[in-house]
Chains A and B, each alone.
Chain A
Amino acid sequence: MPFVDQSHIRNFSIIAHVDHGKSTLADRLIQLCGGLDLREMKEQVLDSMELERERGITIKAQSVTLQYKANDGEVYQLNLIDTPGHVDFSYEVSRSLNACEGALLVVDAAQGVEAQTVANCYTAVDLGLTVIPVLNKIDLPAAEPERVIQEIEDVIGLDSSEALSVSAKSGIGIGELLEQIVEKLPPPTGSPEKPLRALVLDSWFDNYLGVVSLVRVMDGTISGGKAKVRMMSTGFDYQVEQVGIFTPKSLNVKTLSTGNVGFVIAGLKDIKSARVGDTITYTNNLAKESLAGFQEIKPTVFAGLYPINNADFEAFRVALDKLSLNDAALSFEPESSQALGFGFRCGFLGMLHMEIVQERLEREYQLDLITTAPTVIYEVLKKDGETIMIDNPADLPDPSKIELIKEPFIIARILLPHEHVGSVLTLCVEKRGIQKNIHYHGRQVMLEFEMPLTEVVLDFFDQLKSVSRGYASLDYEYVENRLANMVKVDVLINGEKVDPLAVLIHKDQSQYRARELVSRMRKLIPRQMFDVAIQAAIGAKIISRETVKALRKNVTAKCYGGDISRKRKLLEKQKAGKKRMKQIGSVEIPQEAFLSVLKVGD
């Protein structure tokens, strides 16, 4: 790839809601610029993780460097930096945007603006990015470009009179879009003469190369060689082995200069030393100050993960170690439970992050896991004056020793069509929400509610989608810890307390939630050879009870004379089913039962 002058570089991201066609648009741009030939085009090239492609969402930031020959006859270098589209990963979004001068705001011409898009677009505008509004899926019969343009102007306040209409799927308007990227987006500022400052956008672990970091060079240049570089947040020095770009195939280059986006390989073994948001500079020519915005990512949701088969514990530890190489936000420490044996308390950015980690562990590492109900971090002030942070209900001190409990509150911004306002308001109030604001923008309504994070973690998002028929979208951020009247509800199976099933519930909801929980568990626990009693208790007081009646028999009526293979298959199926269950005492409990505490209320 030839050298391109800084004035001919355009760095941009695509801001879009899940399903609004971001990945398809990226594919189309790559194809048009000749980054890949048709044979190499896998659908949604940038979503490289198997899971990402399946769920159609982007989890990790990626980038691609494209060459585009514009109508003015000049060759431009376009660096597209992909951003995740889910609220759990908003930190990564702001990092990606930090590396750009422009952004494409892609909105589905039929569905209109969604909350997550609004939040990300505000971030882009705050960072001083030039934003080009783009209406996608313009060829759909349900497309309403005028209404959606009005919505972008009303809700986001972005002038959209020159919004582009495209269809990434059929290729309509993509040529015009490329021209606008060149014309409207500014080239990167920054000086090649200054000491190196490169922003780490993402880091991942490659089995052969070690840690690979995706960087944007803000000032100066970086090349492979003997000169050591330094991570400015940790002061850690190391040697750069190789630099390069993604076209989207990886291509080694001699130098990444100011404005470039590419990868740096440094033979590091530990991803924690190449943290997202950090600044790289040369040890012998230090930059005066690091780039703004480095922030430690803190998990907000915690859950216990246990292998169903205790013998898998070691394999599980290894898998978590490997997974965390690519996922700096994942935290874990060993914990043990009387009922479940040895496992790990894991911290996640949110529920989606948790689901993704669990699925990757099961799929990529073939582990059968039990996940306990997720919980937030509670701040507990004890009577002796000590304050402790609790991320596991089982660790809650005896009620007599507790002075007060505080729980994290968030501000939720919900964007939805006005016909669903009534049911969403009801839902928010049920979830102990406090209404802060309501704005009408044409057919769309923006609601602002302060809510306890624990309610959002439980099942709020699913319920929000269900009461709004899938139209409401949500964005939230942490506000503060507030006083909470929480009680610990224990679950007893045949009289034995099962610690991983304990949950902290707001006192006003404890009766109803405990009832729902117990009845749900009754449906999930299969009938066994004896009666199984499921009870919910606060302290010593039983507040709800149900019984799974004993199975009277489990025996195949007919043993098929000579052919034993069919009967054997049936038994093997029964055995496989048992493998998905955890033996607690003499009771077999399926995986789903542990998460059933989450689903109360639908």
Chain B
Amino acid sequence: MTTDTLSLYIHFPWCVKKCPYCDFNSHELKSELDENTYTKVLIKDLENDLAIHNPNKPIGTIFMGGGTPSLFSGTAMGQLLRQLGERLDFAPDIEVTMEVNPGAVEHDRFETYLQAGINRLSFGAQSFNDSQLKALGRIHKSRNISGAVTAARRAGYQNFNIDLMYGLPGQSVNEALNDCQQAIDLSPPHLSLYQLTIEPNTLFDKYPPILPPGETSEQIQNRLICLTQENEYLRYEVSAYSKPGYQSQHNLNYWEFGDYLGIGAGAHSKLNIDGVIKRIWKQKHPANYMKSLRNSVDVANSKVVPTSELLFEFAMNALRLTNGFHLSSATKATGLSRADILTGLDNAINQNWVHYDPINDRIKCTTFGYRFLDEILVNLLPD
């Protein structure tokens, strides 16, 4: 899908409350949410983008991320998607995902979301342990998760993901497994299991919680891999697990180095324009972003990815996939030659971190290298 379709990311930068681990572009909502104005500026943002480079490709996936997009009503989402559809060509099998905060969604909304055209949900559950949820600064409780999932299913949602975090402060191996089991009990077709990492410029970075020792987190991860396998989830990316046919198409597009357009405050785009790969990012602070667009001021910054960094950027995404990538798709996505790619990965191949399968012409991490992906990438970073 990388060359035939385009993905669209829409950022919703507001939250009820900022979580201490979160380094995303999210801001606590201080006043009444103005759905109409934001919808209008999003459309304007898109129109500005299309005026500069119209990709002329159908939209394969849409992802509404945040922040907390579920603060927006089904009506607002419906209007937004309708207006997007007037300006873009949606693929017939388009996947439209919205992130849902189990603590910031009214259950009668799910039907309206579905009517609006959102056909996949991603629940930010994080944990099923109430004291952990509190420590993570989440506004929801464990029972809100099952409540939200049940309501969504009742409204007609079949395709959804549950986000979980592990390696939480004071967490034991059993507690982590218990969390995951509770998620599996809700039988989601997709699971994302992230290890909690302390990101720069977050509250946790300033006041670090005591995380379990490395050995414990490693043990948790290994046990989680077994547990998901037993329940017939397939691990297709470092942190992503799915039932057959339920992989996140939107994320796959990132990992396969496909093109995407990002609209909304601080959203990022990546476009291959006549063989030149360009990254674009929008003004970050929501108030400034909206003000600029209303006053017809440009909100986009961009840079061309130099050839010397293409392999690194490509590998950073594609090697995350358990099956790696096909060499011909790599040459197509980056414009590099087969020799460029194989020479660049020479060291990693020699170290047995990465394996090249000449029969199928595929490259992927070895089991060992997959655990040390960052080491491989650091070696690919240009000086």
Q: Point out residues on A near B: beta carbons under 8 Å.
A: 527, 529, 549, 551-572, 574-575, 578
Contacts and interface: CB of A to CB of B under 8 A. Distances in A.
A553 B372 contact: yes
A556 B197 contact: yes
Given A555-B370, A571-B381, A563 B239 contact: no
Interface in B176-198: 194-197
B23 interface: yes
B371 A561 contact: no
10 contacts: A529-B372, A553-B372, A559-B316, A559-B320, A562-B254, A563-B268, A564-B313, A568-B316, A569-B200, A571-B381
A552 B9 contact: no
Given A554-B372, A559-B238, 7 more contacts: A527-B214, A529-B372, A554-B374, A556-B374, A561-B9, A568-B316, A570-B374
B211 to A, nearest CB: 12
A555 B374 contact: yes
Nearest to A574: B378
Interface in B235-285: 238-239, 251, 254-255, 260, 262, 266-270, 279, 281
A311 to B, nearest CB: 12
A560 B316 CA distance: 11
B151 interface: no
Interface string B309-323: 000010011001000
A446 B276 CA distance: 76
B341 interface: no
Contact of A562 (B262, B313, B371, B372): B262
Contacts of A567: 316
A572 to B, nearest CB: 6
A571 B197 contact: no
A329 to B, nearest CB: 37
Closest 6 CB pairs of A and B: A552-B218, A562-B268, A553-B371, A555-B373, A557-B195, A557-B194
Contact of A554 (B9, B63, B320, B373): B373
A552 B378 contact: no
Contact of B238 (A549, A555, A574): A555
A570 B281 CA distance: 19
A565 B199 CA distance: 13
Contacts of B374: 554-556, 570-571, 574
Contacts of B200: 569
Contact of B375 (A529, A562, A564): A529
A555 B374 CA distance: 5
A149 B317 CA distance: 74
B215 interface: yes
A561 B65 contact: yes
B305 to A, nearest CB: 10
A592 to B, nearest CB: 21
Contact of B316 (A549, A552, A561, A564): A564
Contacts of A561: 9, 63, 65, 251, 254, 268
A84 to B, nearest CB: 41
B94 interface: no
A98 to B, nearest CB: 52
A578 B381 CA distance: 12
A559 B320 CA distance: 9
- Residue picked from A549, A561, A572, most chain B C-beta under 10 Å: A561
B221 interface: yes
A578 B238 CA distance: 24
A567 B315 CA distance: 13
B46 interface: no
- Residue picked from A560, A564, A572, A574, most chain B C-beta under 10 Å: A564
B377 interface: yes
Interface string B204-226: 00000000001100100100000
Contacts of A578: 378
Contacts of A562: 9, 254, 260, 262, 267-270
Contacts of B197: 556-558
Given A557-B239, A568-B316, A578-B378, A552 B268 contact: no
Contacts of A566: 23, 199
Contacts of B239: 557-558
A575 B376 CA distance: 11
B161 to A, nearest CB: 13
B260 A558 contact: no
Contact of B215 (A552, A555, A569): A552
Nearest to A549: B215
B214 A552 contact: yes
A589 B208 CA distance: 27
A479 B221 CA distance: 63
- Residue picked from A549, A554, A565, A572, most chain B C-beta under 10 Å: A554
Contacts of B372: 529, 551, 553-555
Contact of B221 (A553, A559, A564, A571): A553
A564 B197 CA distance: 16
Contacts of B266: 563
A345 B65 CA distance: 59
A195 B363 CA distance: 85
A574 B313 CA distance: 16
B85 to A, nearest CB: 21
A422 to B, nearest CB: 40
A549 B215 CA distance: 10
Contacts of A552: 214-215, 218, 371
Contacts of A564: 268, 279, 313, 316-317
B87 to A, nearest CB: 20
Nearest to B250: A561
B270 to A, nearest CB: 7
A240 B308 CA distance: 56
Contacts of A557: 194-197, 238-239
A575 B375 CA distance: 9
Nearest to A563: B268
Interface in B298-357: 313, 316-317, 320
Contacts of B218: 552-553
Interface in B8-43: 9, 23-24
Contacts of B371: 552-555
A576 to B, nearest CB: 10
Contacts of A549: 215
Contacts of B221: 553
Contacts of A555: 238, 370-374
A570 B197 CA distance: 12
Contacts of A570: 374
Given A529-B372, A553-B221, A555-B374, A563 B320 contact: no
Nearest to A569: B200
Nearest to B25: A563
B91 to A, nearest CB: 19
Contacts of B254: 559, 561-562
A2 to B, nearest CB: 60
A558 B198 CA distance: 12
A30 to B, nearest CB: 46
A563 B195 contact: no
B311 to A, nearest CB: 13
Nearest to B365: A555
Contacts of B316: 559, 564, 567-568, 571
A563 B373 CA distance: 18
Nearest to B319: A555
Given A553-B372, A559-B238, A571 B268 contact: no
A598 B313 CA distance: 43
B9 A575 contact: no
A428 to B, nearest CB: 41
Contacts of B270: 562
A568 B377 CA distance: 9
B108 to A, nearest CB: 29
Contacts of A527: 214
A551 B217 CA distance: 11
B378 A575 contact: yes
Contacts of B255: 559
A145 B324 CA distance: 78
